[in-house]
Copies of this chain bind each other. A is one copy, B any other.
């Protein structure tokens, strides 16, 4: 049997956004291929000069990365015939800013950690295989720099295994 030819598909998301008020951004996101549209405004709290009318951008980013990994775990579980009885994540995203005097600061990622509790009747090896596929299939993870560490851990019985 010959190896099947790989097929590719394109995925495009777009936004149109306007800055309004102090720090609020009115952002409309579209997924043209699906005809879907989402209003996802951002704002900053009072400490950063905003009015706190919406989440800050990094809150959306945190939800996006968390949700991306979880969604691919469940989508690929079906293809790999792995039963997911429960799936819970804890994610910790750590950045640093560096500033000289009153100049604009420069930002850099320090490390991201994604802790996964995946209850399943399948073996630890099969669950790790599923998570590895989910990481490769997660569009956000694959867009991240390789210059900082993204740690993934799976809870097994009474301890964490780093994947």
In which size bucket is the chain A interface?
Answer: 35 or more
Within 8 Å CB of A79, what residues of B?
Answer: 102-104
For A60, give its contact among B60, B104, B105 (CB under 8 Å). Answer: B60
**Proximity string of chain A (4-45) to chain B, C-beta cutoff 8 Å, 1 when within and 0 when not:** 111111111111111100010101010100101010111011
| Residue of chain B at shortest CB distance from A4 | B101
- A99 CB contact (under 8 Å) in B6, B31, B87: B6
Interface residues of A (CB under 8 A from B): 3-19, 23, 25, 27, 29, 31, 34, 36, 38, 40-42, 44-45, 47-49, 55-68, 70-76, 79-80, 84, 86-110, 133-134, 136-140, 142-148
